[in-house]
């Protein structure tokens, strides 16, 4: 099974990637993490990616595609894998489709974690960080014991620049502009939209349910469903 996980910044994609990877026993591959590892190791690829990543741009398709192709040819991917942060462009999506075909993998299944913008903004602008120990709090569900100060060292908490509302809204707009064409590319494929404005455990249960149901149904019937709105 090849899964592609999409979702805006702050939607909890990393948490779901870990949970899915553990439960299906397939590797979770984040191209962002791979690039950071290359940078830390000081490889040529890492040096090429460094300035682009620092400026917030996208690393070139050729570099990322080559890196990804090498990664999924490794033995731990033989039963499938989950991709997080890839494909980011239509060119990468077209490359991936061909790579999967040539390597004998089934077509990718798309899981799209969809969270209303206001819910994301609420979550991110409620984050506070301790300047000393770097611990992150969330005023909504993980507040410090005393307002405004770190539980561990008493330092005054602050809001990170990229968590400020306008900066974060701009990041979301950029994400939407880049991701819409990629999602459109996959509209005729097996595509599941999952509501992400729930607790991590609840979202994971829904993803598990979607994947289990699709095993029980022929692929043609399972394609293009949108998960039912949930009420609680
Ligand atoms: P974020 O969600 O904050 O962008 P990531 O860890 O997914 O974090 O990616 C960090 C950076 O790595 C991106 O801003 C981009 O420069 C680069 N990157 C990651 N994945 C890709 C990709 N598929 N194509 C091009 N660049 C990528």
Query: Are 192 and 184 in contact, with CB atoms under 8 Å apart?
Result: no
Q: Reply yes or no: is the peptide bond before residue 231 cis, omega within 30 of 0.
A: no
Q: How many CB atoms lie within 10 A of CB 183?
A: 16
Within 6 A (CB) of ligand 1 lie 9, 30-32, 35, 52-53, 56-59, 64, 85-86, 88, 92
Burial class (CB in 10 A: 0-12, 13-18, 19+), 70: exposed
Alpha-helical (H) ranges within 73-155 are 90-102, 117-125
**What pLDDT, on the 0 to 100 scale, is given for residue 132?**
95
Own/partner long-range contacts of 9-14 (Cβ < 8 Å, ≥24 apart): 9/120, 9/124, 9/168, 9/171, 9/172, 9/175, 10/115, 10/120, 10/123, 10/124, 10/168, 11/113, 11/114, 11/115, 11/120, 11/196, 12/113, 12/196, 12/200, 12/203, 13/84, 13/113, 14/84
CA 76 to chain centre: 20
Task: Chunk the chain into consecutive blocks of 10 residues (it has 232) and report each block's average pLDDT, rounded to whole numbers.
Answer: 94 92 95 92 91 86 95 96 96 97 95 92 90 91 93 95 86 92 94 90 93 67 41 28
* Closest of 192, 208, 160 to residue 4, by C-alpha: 192
Q: How many CB atoms lie within 10 A of CB 196?
A: 23
CA angle 56, 60, 113 (to 5 degrees): 60
Query: Are 188 and 93 in contact, with CB atoms under 8 Å apart?
Result: no
Candidate of 9, 28, 35, 93 to mutate for ligand 1, largest count of ligand atoms within 8 Å of Cβ: 35
Interval between CA 31 and ligand 1 midpoint (Å):
6
Interval between CA 20 and ligand 1 midpoint (Å):
20
**What pLDDT, on the 0 to 100 scale, is given for residue 217?**
57
Interval between CA 174 and ligand 1 midpoint (Å):
12
Q: Is the pTM of this model over 0.95?
A: no
**What pLDDT, on the 0 to 100 scale, is given for residue 223?**
42
Ligand 1 atom having least distance to the Cα of 31 = 20
Interval between CA 67 and ligand 1 midpoint (Å):
13
**What pLDDT, on the 0 to 100 scale, is given for residue 6?**
96
Candidate of 32, 50, 87, 172 to mutate for ligand 1, largest count of ligand atoms within 8 Å of Cβ: 32
């Amino acid at each position: 099974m090849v899964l592609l996980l999409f979702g805006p910044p702050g939607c909890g994609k990393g948490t779901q990637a870990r949970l899915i990877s553990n439960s299906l026993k397939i590797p979770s591959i984040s191209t962002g993490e791979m690039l950071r590892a290359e940078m830390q190791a000081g490889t040529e690829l890492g040096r090429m990616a460094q300035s682009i990543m620092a400026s917030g741009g996208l690393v070139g398709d050729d570099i990322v595609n080559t890196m990804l192709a090498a990664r999924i040819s490794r033995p731990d991917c033989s039963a499938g894998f989950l991709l997080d942060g890839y494909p980011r462009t239509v060119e990468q999506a077209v490359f991936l489709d061909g790579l999967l075909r040539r390597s004998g993998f089934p077509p990718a299944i798309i899981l799209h974690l969809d969270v209303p913008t206001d819910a994301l903004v609420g979550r991110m602008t409620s984050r506070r960080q301790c300047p000393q120990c770097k611990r992150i709090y969330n005023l909504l569900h993980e507040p410090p014991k005393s307002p405004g100060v770190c539980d561990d060292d008493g330092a005054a908490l602050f809001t990170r620049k990229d968590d400020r509302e306008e900066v974060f809204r701009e990041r979301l707009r950029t994400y939407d502009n880049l991701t819409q064409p990629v999602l459109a590319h996959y509209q005729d494929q097996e595509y599941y939209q999952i509501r992400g404005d729930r607790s991590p455990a609840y979202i994971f249960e829904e993803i598990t349910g979607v994947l289990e149901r699709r095993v029980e149904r022929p692929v043609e019937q399972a394609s293009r469903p949108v998960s039912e709105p949930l009420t609680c």
